[in-house]
Amino acid sequence: MIMNHIKVHPLALLHQEKLTKKERITVKSIIEGYPSASEFFVSKLAEGIATIAAAFYPNDVILRFSDFKSNEYANLIGGTHFEPTEDNPMLGWRGASRYYDEKYKQGFQLECEAVKKVRNEFGLTNLIVMIPFVRTVTEAVKVIDTMASYDLKQGENGLKVYGMCEIPANVILADEFLQVLDGFSIGSNDLTQLVLGVDRDSEIVSHLYDERNPAVKAMLKQVIAAARRAGKYIGICGQAPSDHPELCEFLIQQGISSIALNSDRLLPTILQVAKFEQQQAAAADA
């Protein structure tokens, strides 16, 4: 939504004095009709989120906070004035590490304001928020505290805060993370990449990237078990279940709560899962 509908870097909206004349003219034309630049961002983002949350109400809808890499943020209008140049943005300033950082937290505040608008003004309390790429338990606490400083408080009016499980540390310390977070959603793309040490975008080593690798499956099994012990939500939102139907059966066997799929794989996978669950039930009755 930020990339396609807002198009302007959050900090560029708040600090237009740092933009070039051409950029200021562009921003002015984009936010025309709104009382302020910040209101433009909050309203546009809230409207986009609310459209999805309302469509599925009262069922839960999970919103992942922004997880652009620094090079992707730099591609937004005015972004180059606020983003560092990193040799490896995939492992750099992204996700949770931005939200409490003094250099970006004003931008994160705008996202929090949009979530508050959706939940408090529109009444769509089925909206759950999720923190991406959270590297340490301490970092998870910092983000939750930062949210609270913007009056978006975990537990208030039923607000749940999930975390992405996409770093081996999330799995290894799952028990500790789940004392802070209300659940996990497995990001199989990044988790596979980091477990196997493979750049999934590199054609040279792409043949080694496989979510069905035993090491990856061991990680999946471990974190699902941890979430079940804690009585917390555990889902998966990566590409793996859509690409590898047999992995869905493995995830169901482990007790996963939900599986996100590409639209073209939805119906075939529903039929596959139903058949598998019938087989499991028959085996249990035998």
Residue range 29-66, pLDDT digits in tens:
999 999 999 999 999 999 999 999 999 999 999 999 99
pLDDT reported for residue 100: 98
DSSP 160: -
- Give me the count of residues in the chain: 286
Residue range 98-144, pLDDT digits in tens:
999 999 999 999 999 999 999 999 999 999 999 999 999 999 999 99
DSSP H or E stretch at residue 146: helix 137-149
Which pairing describes strands 183-186 and 161-165: parallel, antiparallel, or unpaired? parallel
Q: Which residue has the higher pLDDT, 225 or 286?
A: 225
pLDDT reported for residue 286: 64
Residue range 6-23, pLDDT digits in tens:
999 999 999 999 999 999
Distance CA 113, CA 218 (A): 39
Residue range 173-202, pLDDT digits in tens:
999 999 999 999 999 999 999 999 999 888
pTM above 0.75, yes or no: yes
pLDDT reported for residue 130: 98
Q: Is 268 a residue whose pLDDT tops 90?
A: no
Sign for the CA dihedral angle at 214, 220, 221, 223 comes to positive
Q: Which tokens in the block code for residue 147?
A: 């949210």
DSSP 261: -
Backbone angles phi, psi at 77, to 5 degrees: -60, 125
pLDDT reported for residue 144: 98
Beta-carbon contacts of 228 under 8 Å, excluding residues fewer than 6 positions away, are 234, 255
DSSP 50-105: HHHHHHHTTS-EEEEPP---HHHHHTSBTGGGT----S-GGGSS-THHHHT-TTTH
Q: How many CB atoms lie within 10 A of CB 78?
A: 24
Distance CA 200, CA 210 (A): 9
pLDDT reported for residue 277: 78
Residue range 213-256, pLDDT digits in tens:
999 999 999 999 999 999 999 999 878 888 888 898 899 999 99
Residue 209's pLDDT band, with cuts at 50, 70 and 90, is very high
Burial 183-201 (b: 16+ CB within 10 A, else e): bbbbbbbbbbbbbbebeee
Q: Is 265 a residue whose pLDDT tops 90?
A: no
DSSP 262: -
Q: Is 283 a residue whose pLDDT tops 80?
A: no
